[in-house]
Amino acid sequence: MKKWILFTMIGVLLMGCKKDSFDINNPDVKKFVKQLKSGTYGEYERNEKGERLWLKMPNFRQEHIAALIELSKDTTHIQKFPTNPISSRTPIPQGRDYFILGECLLWIVDGIRGASSLDPYLVDTSKKT
């Protein structure tokens, strides 16, 4: 009898443990940011063998812009972000080994508005390079 109770409890526990899924077609901005910050965002484009290629960008739309801008004040350093797969440049400025969350969120806003660049970082055009 104790074994059945133990197996039942283990079964209930395992059923309660599910992956923190993300709906790429109906994205939740706060959940996306939370997963980026924790390093758990894992929606990948895959090849025909099922191998990971690159992180997919959620299908953000006009209605997501306000939330993205509000959260863009966050300067947390993140390691993974869904960058533009056709860009041949490094997705991070030279000398940096991380993304800045706020820059990335503003880049998404630019993309929604149709003015996206190849890379998710801000360039200070007031400085001469």
Per-domain residue ranges for the chain?
22-113
User: Using one digit for the tens of pLDDT, what is the confidence trace for 78-102?
Assistant: 999 998 787 767 777 788 899 999 9
pLDDT digits (tens, 9 = 90+) for 2-12: 655 545 555 55
Note whether 36 and 101 are within 8 A (CB): yes
The whole-model pTM stands at 0.75
What are the angstrom distances between the C-alpha of 53 and each of 32, 36, 76? 19, 18, 25
